[in-house]
Amino acid sequence: MIEVVAALIREGNKFMICQRPAHKARGLLWEFVGGKVEAGESDKEALVRECREELGVTLSVGDRFADVVHAYPDLTVHLTLYCATIAEGTPQKLEHNDIRWITPQEIPKYSFCPADRTILSEIPKRMK
């Protein structure tokens, strides 16, 4: 099982989603920004590192929002989503195909990675 962390980055009533590059597994599906936890890193350290690498921003990571275990055909992930805000920088598409800020009501308009779908159902209930 691979430990993966992701960020629920909010600005007002919107949150950030990122579109995976076409050439990667689950290409062009939407996801929360984040990635694998490396050996010796805490979840929060990994999330800060991943967001620097993928968006060029520094995050302030808060509480755990949700977590889920999902088995893909090629791997099983334990995904933990943390509430976060951008402490420094402006998001850039350093790795992703696209970045969007959406409201909870706009979730159905996007095709998300399967591991994110369970968590997405919680957002309209809890993001007020």
Question: What pLDDT score was predicted for residue 128?
Answer: 64
Look at the block and give the residue holding tokens 């959406």.
102
Distance CA 40, CA 33 (A): 21
Burial classification of residue 1, based on how many CB atoms lie within 10 Å of its CB (0-12 exposed, 13-18 middle, 19 or more buried): exposed
- The confidence score (pLDDT) of residue 43 equals 97
- Residues with Cβ within 8 Å of 35's Cβ and at least 6 positions away in sequence, in order, are 4, 5, 46, 50, 53, 54
List of the chain residues with pLDDT < 70: 128
Q: Is the sign of the CA dihedral 86, 121, 42, 22 positive or negative? A: negative
Q: What is the pLDDT of residue 33?
A: 96
- pLDDT score at 79: 96
Q: What residues make up the domain containing 8?
A: 2-126
Listed in sequence order, the residues at least 6 apart from 124 whose beta carbon sits closer than 8 Å to its beta carbon are 104, 105, 107
pLDDT at 18: 97
21-39 tens-digit pLDDT: 988 888 799 999 999 999 9
The CATH number of whichever domain residue 68 belongs to comes to: 3.90.79.10
Write down the pLDDT at residue 120. 93
Total domain count for the chain?
A: 1
Paired tokens of 39: 């050996």
Note the pLDDT of residue 27.
79
